[in-house]
Amino acid sequence: MNKVVVGLSGGVDSSTAAAILHAQGYEVIGLTLWLMKGKGQCCSEGMIDAAYICEQLGVPHHVVDIRDVFQTNIVDFLVTGYSAGITPLPCSQCNKTVKFGPMLQYARENLGCDRIATGHYARIQYDEATGRYQLLRAVDRNKDQSYFLYDLSQDLLSGSVFPLGEMHKADTRRIAGEQGLKTADKPESQDLCLVESNGSMRAFLDKYLAPKTGDIVDTTGKVLGQHEGVHHYTIGQRKGLGIAAAEPLYVISLDAVNNRVVVGDRTKATQPECTVGQVNWVSIAEPSSPIRAEAQVRYRSTPVPVTVIPLENSRVRIVFDEPQFSITPGQAAVWYDGEKVLGGGIIEQFN
């Protein structure tokens, strides 16, 4: 019960999480997942920094090569999604299928340990009344990552620890400095690991998807310009369209079948509801009737009042109290009751 495997990316957050647990008397084992080749926070220099942190703390360090898993579950997942005209969200997919799942499995099968810890800003508590583990927002709302963790199963939540959930980022930096950690002043990652390693999402996608010229049209079908692939665009996008108009135009839909990018004014990119699939009910069991909640449709979007209506086949319909801008198929919709994550899923379509 005193042993914990800490996922180390080589950043200050995971390093400090390991240092905190070590100082609390836990038997810490460092574990780094080798996700891809080349530059990226989780790879290359990240693995070196993770190894250094383990040396500083005097704890063992394991590196597990899961590049094939990352290629299938993240790289192929992204390429397939963008080519189909949706904008996939890789982080929640990565957390469940690439990070937490494989880490907990490795800990159980190879290290005799039932608990893993990460540097995520979120909290977990057990509700004795319902017998469920609940996922909560972090105390530091500016760093809260619960949106990306909505898809964790009860088994994964039961075996996970978030030492930074009660802390603010400034406290993390302070503790890292006090502990003399090599990563104390390491710059924060500002983007997806694939974006960092390739320079931009466009550059990453261009490695896998060939240019395919098509039309940019308005809602009447009038051709306004040309594009080199629907994968270069996302719903709500305004900049970089390369067309002139009397009023601001936004991408309102991506027609991958006909290779068209459809644009319109802001009102046409605003929707009253959406359908969400692949739903995971986190802190509560699936309800049998509609519930009230606050939903986020992007990581940095403001939570807004909604009605969540359960449907068949792990799907829900979300009806917004007020229509919302830029509802994007492929992104996650996550709904909350205050600080508690009730559930989440992938936006399939807007209505």
Distance CA 106, CA 327 (A): 37
Q: Are strands 122-127 and 214-217 parallel, antiparallel or unpaired?
A: unpaired
Classify 235 as helix, strand or coil: coil
- CB-CB contact of 113 with 128 (8 Å): no
Classify 126 as helix, strand or coil: strand
E strands in the chain: 3-7, 27-34, 61-65, 116-117, 122-127, 132-137, 160-161, 214-217, 223-227, 250-255, 260-264, 270-281, 291-296, 304-311, 315-325, 332-337, 340-350
Concatenating the DSSP letter of every residue in 80-122 gives HHHHTT----HHHHHIIIIIIHHHHHHHHHHS----EE---SE
> Out of 42, 54, 91, 94, which one is annotated catalytic?
94
114: left (phi over 0), alpha (psi -120 to 50) or beta: alpha
Distance CA 225, CA 124 (A): 50
> Out of 43, 54, 113, 193, which one is annotated catalytic?
193
Concatenating the DSSP letter of every residue in 299-335 gives TTSPPEEEEEEEETTTEEEEEEEEEEE---TTSEEEE
Distance CA 6, CA 21 (A): 9
Classify 36 as helix, strand or coil: coil
DSSP state, residue 228: S
Distance CA 158, CA 148 (A): 17
Distance CA 273, CA 275 (A): 7
Candidates 164, 134, 169; CA nearest to 149 is 134
Classify 71 as helix, strand or coil: helix
Distance CA 265, CA 37 (A): 42
The verdict on whether 54 is a catalytic residue reads no
Q: Which amino acids are annotated catalytic?
A: 94, 193
